[in-house]
Amino acid sequence: MDAKPNPTFSGRIALVTGASQGIGETIAFELAKEGPLVVLVDIQREKLEAVAERIARSGGRASVQTADVSRFDQAAAVVEGVVGEHRRLDYLVNNAGITRDNLLMRMREEEWDAVLAVNLKGVFNFCRAAIRPMISSRFGRIVNISSVVGVMGNAGQANYSASKAGVIGLTKSLAREVAGREVTVNCVAPGYIMTAMTESLPEAVKKAFLEMIPMKRMGTPEDVAQAVKFLLSDQAAYITGQVIHVNGGMYT
């Protein structure tokens, strides 16, 4: 890896969900440069293994665990396994997310349920599993990935916006519950970022988004990963219950 391992991250254990592509893959890759072992969680093992190999080729350390984040039992099993093996879990990044866009008047119940199950219940599931070991070791950093539309709303994304607003509420509440135990809980809210999720949007929607961004460009997964890394660092020890917006000025 290009960067020298950072002593504050070295020897620690991180878990990133939705790590097989996009923002999650980049967070895992950038974090691994700092020295912790990164546990990559996603649904498809093959894709995860490819990311783990990429990290290993660059001198970082990663292991893979398959889980559907919307499943309470699977989240609990992954975290139990990690804590059983390493005796700790220091960093949790809840990044897995999906979209099922539709105008509310046409939205099917399954579209609502699927998005809330992954984007909001998934965050609950992993926080619920991780919080006890973090409290016991009197150290923990949780970063939940919300979205700009969780604060500003977006036509055609009532389910997604509700899930991402919910993530902010969950984050602020949990932050208050565990602040006295040296565990911090924060959100990063990306704007319009170049990944597979945005690549599939209709051209007209992409153009409309770009027009809303004062910086006149899409963000990159690296832009998001740097904010996550800061919130996980020891330098961010006194920051909790906050939302860092990474959106090129799209919403202030």
Which residues are identified as catalytic?
160
Residue 207 Cβ, how far from ligand NAP at the closest point, in Å?
15
Q: Which is nearer to ligand NAP, 163 or 184 (CB)?
A: 163
Q: Which is nearer to ligand NAP, 24 or 248 (CB)?
A: 24
Binding ligand NAP (rule: CB under 6 A), the pick from 63, 157, 161, 195 is 195
Q: Which is nearer to ligand NAP, 4 or 216 (CB)?
A: 216
**Binding footprint of ligand NAP, residue count (CB under 6 A):** 27
Tokens of 229: 């890394």
Residue 251 Cβ, how far from ligand NAP at the closest point, in Å?
11
Site residues for ligand NAP, 65-124, by CB under 6 A, read 68-70, 95-98, 118
Residue 200 Cβ, how far from ligand NAP at the closest point, in Å?
9
Q: Are 30 and 54 in contact (CB under 8 A)?
A: no
Binding ligand NAP (rule: CB under 6 A), the pick from 6, 8, 43, 236 is 43
95 vs 92: CA distance, rounded Å:
9
Q: How many alpha carbons lie under 13 Å from residue 129 in its C-beta half-sphere? A: 27
Tell the residue number behind the tokens 């390493």, with chain if given: 86
Backbone angles phi, psi at 238, to 5 degrees: -100, 15
Tokens of 241: 């219950």
Per DSSP, the three-state class of 233 is: coil
Relative to beta strand 13-17, strand 140-145 is: unpaired
143 vs 86: CA distance, rounded Å:
20
Residue 160 Cβ, how far from ligand NAP at the closest point, in Å?
7
* Contacting positions for ligand NAP (CB under 6 A): 17-18, 20-24, 42-44, 68-70, 95-98, 118, 145, 147, 190, 192-193, 195-198
